[in-house]
Structure 1
Amino acid sequence: MVKLTPKSKKRPHVAPDLSTPGGRRRARAELVWGDHGFLRAAFSNLHQISPDMWRANQPSPRQVVAHAKARGIRTIINLRGASTKGYYLLEKEACEAAGIVLEDFQVFSRDTPTREAIFGARDLFERIAYPALMHCKSGADRAGLMAVLYKLLHEKVPFEEARQQLSFKYLHVKHGKTGMLDAFLDAYANYNSGRPVDNWKPFLDWVAEDYDRQAVKDAFLGSFGKKVQLDRILGRE
C-alpha cells in the first residue's frame, strides 16, 4: 500500500534585508528576474494622461529617481499593494530617498472592482499631492482601470473618453481574465443604453445603487471559455 503524504504548504516569503549586501543582492534579483524587471529596463509603458498624472509599469529605483527629477513627481501610487518582495522594498527605499510619498492602493486585474475600491480611488485622487504617477506591474490593466477612474472621477471627462485609458494603446488585452475590467465598464454603458449621453446616470450613483459586482463577474466567466486565455502567457497578476 502506497502511503500518500500531504502536499507541503507554500512557505511565506521572507523579505530580503536591505541593510546587508546579501539581502540587497537578493532584492535586486527578485526585482530583475523574479518580477521580470529585465523586460522593463528599456520600456516603461510611461504615459502622461493629464498635466498632473502619469501612468507606467513597475519602476526600478533608478526610474523612481528619474521621475522625481524629470517630472517633479511627489506621489507614486503602487497599485500592486505592499509586499515583502524585492521590487517593492527597493521602490519604497527609492521613494523615501527621493522625497516621494508612496501610496499602496491595491486593485486587481482579473476581478471586477469592489464598490470600496471605486470610492477609495475617488478619495485617493482627492487627497494626494500632485504631480503623481500610478503603476502596476505592466502598466496595462490595473493602471488602465485606475486611469479610467482618474479621468472620470477627478477630471470629470465624458465616459467614452475616460475608458480609452483601458485599451491596447497601453497594452491592455481583454481576451483573457483581464477582460473582466472591460465587462465592468460595459455594464455601466449597457445600463445607460438608449439614453442621451447627457442624461446618463452619474457613474458613482450607478456604482452605489445598481452595480452588481458578482453578476458582472458571473456573466463574464460564463462566456470566458470562448475567449483566448492569455493570462499565463502574459504573466498577469
Structure 2
Amino acid sequence: MAKKSYLRAVTTTALADAIKRGRSRMATPWQRALGHLESVFIDHACFRLIYSNTYRISPNMYRASQPSPSHIAVAARNGIKSILNLRGSRDCASYILEAEACRVHGLELVDFPVNSRDMPKKETLLKARELFKTMAYPALMHCKSGADRAGFMSTLYLFAHEGKPLDEAMKQLSWRYGHFKQAKTGILDYFFELYAAYNQKRPIEFWDWVERVYDPVEAKASFRSREWADAVVDRVLGRE
C-alpha cells in the first residue's frame, strides 16, 4: 500500500514537472493551454474558482485566495487599484496569469512574499509597515488559499495600520477562512500572542516591541503545533 502511494506521488510530481516545462512562459496557444491546466489542477485553482475566500476587511482592503484572471477583472471593475501578492514572484502559471491580468486591467501588482510556517522576520514586518503607508488603495491581498498568510497580513494591517484592537484584528486568523491555529500555521497567531502577553506585563507600543524586544529565533523555539492539525493542513488541504 505504501509502495503504491509512493509511486502515485512520484508519477504525479513527474507529470506536474512535465506540464511546467511544456508551458514555459505561455507564449503560444499550446503553452497557454498547458499553463491553464497547471493552474487549475496543480495549483488547485479548480477549488478557488468555486470558492475564492474573498472578504472585505475594511473600506480600503480585501483579502482573498489566489485570484484568477476573471477575479482580477471583477476587482478592477469594483475599483481595486493594487494587488498585494503574498506568495511572491515565482515560476507558476497562476502567477504568470495574475501578472498578465493586472497589466491588462491597469492594477499595480506588489509581490511581497510571507511565510506561513515561520516567525515573521523583523525586516518583513518593517517593510510591511512602509508598504501599508504607500500602496495604492483600495487594495486586495492574497496568498494561495486566503487562509494563513492573508490572515496574518490582514491582522497586521488592521491592528498596526488602522489601529483596531488586537483581539478584534486577530479574528482574521480564524477557521472561518480556513486557518487552523493548532497546526504549524498557528505560529502566525503565536506572534501576536507573544506581543499581547509582553504588552500586558510591560506596556509597549507594537513597533517598539518589534524593533527592540522581538526575537524570531527564540519565539519559534517556544512554539508547538499538533500533529493532527499539521496532517490536515499539509496533507489534506495541501497548503503552502
**Superposition TM-score tier, normalisation by shorter sequence:** 0.7 to 0.9
- 66, 76, 92: which one aligns with 1:58: 66
Moved more, 16-25 or 40-49: 16-25
Which residue is 1:211 aligned to? 214
Q: 3-state SS of the aligned residue for 2:84?
A: strand
What is the CA–CA distance in structure 2 between the aligned matches of 1:137 and 1:68, rounded to whole Å? Answer: 20
- 155, 166, 170: which one aligns with 1:163: 170
Which residue is 1:105 aligned to? 112
Q: 3-state SS of the aligned residue for 1:157?
A: coil
What's the % identity of the aligned pairs?
A: 47
TM-score (norm 2): 0.87
Q: CA deviation at 1:226?
A: 6.2
Alignment length (residue pairs): 221
The structure where helix makes up a greater share of residues is 2
What is the CA–CA distance in structure 2 between the aligned matches of 1:213 and 1:90, rounded to whole Å? Answer: 34
User: What's the RMSD between the two structures over aligned residues?
Assistant: 1.8
Gaps (5+ residues) in structure 2? 1-13
Note the 1:60-75 alignment, pairs <5 A: 60-69=68-77, 71-75=78-82
* Partners of 1:16 and 1:85 within 8 A in 2: no
Gaps (5+ residues) in structure 1? 1-9
* Partners of 1:75 and 1:131 within 8 A in 2: yes
What is the CA–CA distance in structure 1 between the aligned matches of 2:226 and 2:186, rounded to whole Å? Answer: 12
Q: Deviations over 1:160-197 (max 9, x none)?
A: 221111112222111211011111111111112346xx
TM-score (norm 1): 0.88
Q: Indicate whether 1:83 and 2:103 are aligned.
A: no
Moved more, 223-232 or 94-103: 223-232
- Relative to structure 1, the CA distance from residue 143 to residue 67 in structure 2 (aligned partners, 3 Å threshold; closer, same or farther) is same
Which residue is 2:147 aligned to? 140
Which residue is 1:37 aligned to? 45
One-letter amino acid of the structure 2 residue matched with residue 224 of structure 1: S
* Partners of 2:186 and 2:225 within 8 A in 1: no
One-letter amino acid of the structure 1 residue matched with residue 229 of structure 2: V
Q: 3-state SS of the aligned residue for 1:113?
A: coil
